[in-house]
Chain A
Amino acid sequence: MSAVSDDFELSSKAAQGDRRAFSTLVRRHEARIRAFLVRTAGRDAADDLAQETFLRAWRNAGRFRGTGSYASWLLAIAWHVFLDASKRQRAELGRRRVLDSAPASSAGDPLAKMDVERLMAALDPEERACLALCLGQGCSHGEAAEILGVPLGTLKSRVARATAKCRALMDAK
């Protein structure tokens, strides 16, 4: 059985209230979701947002139709959770970008980690999400566009813009 159809079966069981099936899905996908959120929202906020993502996935398990991969469905939820949290925080703290600050790398090398942190901090949240999906998660442009809910052209231009910004920063070093 393929991983996608296996995920669909587990999700269907979760929709009927099978908590063990949902735990298997969490175990299978948590690393991916947390890595995406670390890149997009920063290390401090990532775990809370990941918990919220899985809670929403549990509540809406019946909505997963199995047309795409379960990971893509979860990443789309994670992106919306991040956007909602950003909106809430902006409302509370005016224009201070708390969630946007200091996204961190999961790489072990502290020097590389600092580079990634600096690079990602220089980008807009949308650009970070594009790079995190296309370069970090290995998603195709089409997949990433679907996850973020933007047209393919927008996604491609964001990736190009983010890459150009990163290159400029790397050249400036």
Chain B
Amino acid sequence: MDEKFCDLAALLRDTQRPADEAFVNDIEWLIELDIALERRRSATYRRWAVDLGSACAIGCVAFVLAGDASATQAAPPMVLASLLAATAVPILWLLT
């Protein structure tokens, strides 16, 4: 290793220093903020899921009721979908 390379290595070598507590505190604060934002985000998604489920349930039930045919004669998938949606809504409410 020649002298110039040694000079370069010495210039670039990082010196050891104690931890910067201010920086560590900043990171702790950022993580706290990140966790809070993540909770808020997932709460929003849950709310959207519940709103969508409610709308589907109401829509399906209204569609079946408004039809000329009775529930037994209505298209089976539509009855099944409305039942599923109507069951999912209270479960989603419980999860939130």
Contact = CB atoms under 8 A, between A and B. Distances in A.
A47 B13 CA distance: 19
B11 A51 contact: no
A26 to B, nearest CB: 5
B5 A167 contact: yes
A106 interface: yes
B36 to A, nearest CB: 13
B14 interface: yes
A55 B12 contact: no
Interface string B1-32: 00011011101111111011101101110111
B8 A163 contact: yes
Interface size on A, as a range, is 35 or more
Contact of B9 (A59, A115, A135): A135
A105 B26 contact: no
A54 B27 contact: yes
A119 B19 CA distance: 27
Nearest to B31: A58
A34 B17 CA distance: 12
A155 to B, nearest CB: 16
B51 interface: no
Question: Is chain B's interface secondary structure helix, strand, loop, or mixed overall?
Answer: helix
Interface size on B, as a range, is 20 to 34
A119 B14 contact: no
Given A22-B31, A23-B28, A51-B27, A166 B20 contact: no
Interface in A155-173: 163, 166-167, 170-171
Contacts of B15: 106-107
Contacts of B31: 19, 22, 55, 58
Contact of A170 (B4, B16, B30): B4
A90 B38 CA distance: 29
Counting chain A CB atoms within 10 Å of each CB, the highest count among B7, B11, B12, B30 belongs to: B12
Interface of B: 4-5, 7-9, 11-17, 19-21, 23-24, 26-28, 30-32, 34
Given A51-B30, A116-B11, 12 more contacts: A19-B31, A28-B19, A31-B14, A34-B23, A36-B14, A50-B23, A51-B27, A59-B34, A116-B12, A119-B8, A163-B8, A170-B8
Sorted from nearest, which 6 A-B pairs have the closest CB atoms? A35-B14, A135-B12, A27-B19, A136-B12, A136-B14, A135-B9
